[in-house]
Amino acid sequence: MNFKKILIITSIITFPILFGQFTYKKSAGAHPGSTGAPGDNTCAKSGCHVGTPVTYNDTAVNKLIFSQLDSTYLPGQTYTITVRTYNPPVQRFGFEFQAIADATSLEAGTVVVTDVIRTHEVTHMVGSDFRTSVTHNTVSTPEISPGFNEWTFDWTAPATNVGDITFYYATNSTNNNNASSGDKIFCNTFRIKISPLFSINELVDVQNSNAFYDGETNQIIFNYFLKSDKKVSINVFDSFGREVYKQKNKSKNAGQQKDELSLKNQMSPGVYYVNLSIDNKSFSKKIIIK
């Protein structure tokens, strides 16, 4: 009799401990492959929020911002992506992001975690396709402002032209009850295309170019390799698309270039884009000033 009582008491004490660990893991990131991408599930089918209704394509609730304003990409280039969600009076949110090539339904490019405090990578297999997506950390689930949250990371385009690429992303508006019930899942997509200026690679070595800001001289140093004699234009824009530097049609000989762009005003902290144009073709390099 006493032995039976001990078993019953042990079961009652152990269950809430295990349950607490289970719910914590869900707040620490989405299940891998829960964006609704080809071959994947959604959060409502992946084992965490089974049976939860899913809303698709509601940009008023979740939205993706791609740093290339015309929604195009150049092979090998890195872009900044922000996933935003707004759904008051919700106070806690989660997300997951995945990039897939339309033509092959395979992972496209490489996600790059830039904020390890708020985000991390998760991986899974779909057939023989090894996929890496980005999701939230527990610390980044509370709202930033009433009913609002966002996560930012980088994505590097494939080294070759793979055609159209679709970003699949999902956000979870939770009811903050420390369980998988009663939450609301929102799935969305964002498509990008190969840049019509892709042939710029025939004129300049895009992949091996770089730009950085020298605060002591108030100059942007821009290094690139020109494949033939050309006239080159360089413009610098801030993250709002405002031009902060302009250099028009300067003749250059083929070979390694190092342009020192002297700026009129000291650069404020933020993200900037150095844009090089040749024969009506162009590409951009991102610089971050902290």
Is there a single domain that holds both residue 92 and residue 171? yes
Q: Quick check: helix, strand or coil at residue 265?
A: coil
pLDDT digits (tens), the chain, 290 positions: 443 443 333 333 333 333 333 333 356 788 899 999 999 977 655 555 555 678 888 889 999 999 999 999 988 899 999 999 999 999 999 999 999 999 999 999 999 999 999 999 999 999 999 999 999 999 999 999 999 999 999 999 998 889 999 999 999 998 765 555 568 899 999 999 998 767 677 789 888 899 999 999 999 999 999 999 999 999 999 988 889 999 988 999 999 999 999 998 888 999 999 999 988 788 889 999 98
Last residue in a domain, options 168, 194, 220: 194
Last residue in a domain, options 162, 194, 226: 194
Residue 124 sits at φ, ψ, to 5 deg, of -165, 170
Residue 13 is assigned to a structural domain of this protein: no
Distance CA 11, CA 32 (A): 31
Whole-prediction pTM: 0.61
Is there a single domain that holds both residue 185 and residue 42? yes
Residue 47: the pLDDT is: 52
Q: Using alpha carbons, list the distances in angstroms from residue 65 to 121, 155, 183, 233, 236.
A: 19, 12, 24, 27, 20
Q: Which two tokens stand for residue 25?
A: 């893991």
Residue 5: the pLDDT is: 40
Is there a single domain that holds both residue 75 and residue 121? yes
Q: Which two tokens stand for residue 55?
A: 């809303």
Residue 15 is assigned to a structural domain of this protein: no
Residue 123 is assigned to a structural domain of this protein: yes
Residue 149 is assigned to a structural domain of this protein: yes
Residue 179: the pLDDT is: 56
Cβ contacts of 233 within 8 Å, gap of 6 or more: 247, 248, 249, 250, 276, 277, 278
Report the residue count for the chain. Answer: 290
Is there a single domain that holds both residue 183 and residue 81? yes
Residue 45: the pLDDT is: 56
Is there a single domain that holds both residue 135 and residue 212? no
Residue 218 is assigned to a structural domain of this protein: yes
* Residue appearing with tokens 């996600």: 111
Radius of gyration of the chain from Cα atoms? Answer: 24
Of the candidates 10, 20, 48, the residue with the CA atom closest to the CA atom of residue 185: 48
Last residue in a domain, options 194, 213, 238: 194
- Specify the CATH number for the domain of residue 149: 2.60.40.4060
Is there a single domain that holds both residue 185 and residue 116? yes
Structural domain boundaries enclosing 50: 29-194
